[in-house]
Chain A
């Protein structure tokens, strides 16, 4: 019990952030129309790629002679970058197509005239 209380008081700010972010996350997603579900999932996927920051810190702190840490850290940086870059590019590609459809009804009207 003592341990739990001290954990909460030590990490007060973090716990507040966690709770508030849970509500923000739910609030933000609640209004997304079904048509945007796939890009949304993909976009959220890219955002959790923020884990790359941890990978960079691990890599940057690894002692020069600790090869397992260097290799694992290197791998983590590659995988994290894949997540971030791939995620954002895929999302952009999907959304690009959504943007494209905006023109078509007007074009059709023009064509029919």
Chain B
């Protein structure tokens, strides 16, 4: 009765995961979808604790440990998730993703220990029959797969977290890609050797594979920087999904399998969609690293002078405009200027100016980062335009106000084949009658590339912290 009930619970949980993801695709129903998936997850966890029985019909024990772990993890998780600032959301997701990966890797470590323990106590180790051996190999294959994928995901997510946090910088050395590929091949080779030949030193080999996977995770994410970070987080997200599915295979657990594969497939598709938005292949993102290594390409070119604009002039231009498109970027998020931005929008609209926002798919540090940020400030949905829409609207626009965005408006992506972002679709702010760019300084953006846009005749620079500049602009506009 108990285990049949558990099967039903797992079935329902799997359905809630699918429905939850489905509902997340509708703004109005998204929140309910998330809650439904959470309810399914809660039921699955509770069901596992109280109803799970192993092959011999034994229930689980160590309840104190289980509830202790749930309590500690739940408390820390809730507090961390409640306290995190909107700007730090991407890091947080990356961090939680890493926790999931580590969890999957730990499960593999413990299960491997069980397996080895079982082998040692089995009599006549050398004359194991073929059926037993093939069963063992299958078991080991899943354990090792979970270990490798889980630990790569953990190490990679931690690096992504630290990078977004600004704790570590891009780090590239010559031949790093070859080194990475070699490392991955060594891991694969060792895994095949371990599973196929079951060598005597299997236990230490297992831990070497664990160590190498962690190192690979670090080196995998290290050279990838700037505009590509969202893609990496999404990819690691799907890795963890696959690692969870491996654990599901291990325990013949349908809920884990469906949940894991669902996220693995969805995450992979999301990754590909994001690559498409940048007009690049996934391989190109992973191999052709942005940042430090490519810095030399932009610097050689001679730039003209840039033009600075005063606050009052900027306010004047905007006051007499008919249509303004705001292009938000990471700078807006850093300055926490989303509320000021919304206020500016309201002030302008009160003066009869039409204001919309142009959202580049990879603006910020995560897909949809800008949408979340602006939603926090109560900016209405229908004011957010996607790239294609916005590019059609720019020619009829008086002012394009670029707030802390850089790479997504860099014309080099269209004109300069030597640029590392060549081929990425950009927002054609230049088509507008005037471009006002707010930045803190002339320093290049996260991808480390000079931006020609700032030196074009139509462009005027408005230096300063986005929040302060916007508030001053609002002040000026109200005085006019």
Residues of A within 8 A of B (CB): 3, 6-7, 10-11, 14, 17-18, 21-26, 28-62, 64, 66, 68-70, 72-102, 104-105, 108
Contact = CB atoms under 8 A, between A and B. Distances in A.
B37 A43 contact: yes
Contact of A86 (B77, B261, B266): B77
Interface centre among B17, B82, B257, B380 (most CB of A within 10 A): B17
A74 B45 contact: no
Interface stretch (B63-71, B281-289, B454-462): B63-71
B452 interface: no
8 contacts: A26-B265, A35-B384, A44-B21, A49-B41, A50-B260, A60-B63, A61-B54, A94-B372
A41 to B, nearest CB: 6
Given A54-B244, A60-B61, A90-B81, 11 more contacts: A28-B25, A28-B266, A38-B366, A47-B241, A51-B100, A58-B111, A68-B113, A75-B69, A76-B107, A82-B76, A90-B96
B206 interface: no
B371 A38 contact: yes
A60 B269 contact: no
B248 interface: yes
Interface string B368-382: 110110011011110
B237 interface: yes
A64 to B, nearest CB: 7
A27 B168 CA distance: 37
B262 interface: yes
B257 A26 contact: no
Give the secondary structure class of A's interface: helix
B386 A54 contact: no
Contacts, number: 376
Given A37-B367, A41-B234, A49-B41, A25 B73 contact: no
B38 to A, nearest CB: 4
Contacts of A72: 106, 109-110
Interface of B: 13, 17-18, 20-22, 24-25, 27-28, 30-31, 33-35, 37-38, 41, 44-45, 48-49, 52, 54, 59-63, 65-66, 68-70, 72-74, 76-78, 80-82, 84, 89-90, 92-93, 95-97, 99-100, 102-104, 106-107, 109-111, 113-114, 134, 137-138, 233-234, 237, 240-241, 243-245, 247-267, 269-270, 274, 346, 359, 361, 366-369, 371-372, 375-376, 378-381, 384, 386
Given A54-B247, A69-B113, A90-B96, A24 B65 contact: no
B134 to A, nearest CB: 6
A79 B270 contact: no
Given A45-B96, A48-B244, A29 B25 contact: yes
Contacts of B384: 35
Contact of B110 (A24, A73, A108): A73
B92 to A, nearest CB: 6
Nearest to B113: A69
B38 A46 contact: yes
A101 B407 CA distance: 29
Nearest to B59: A60
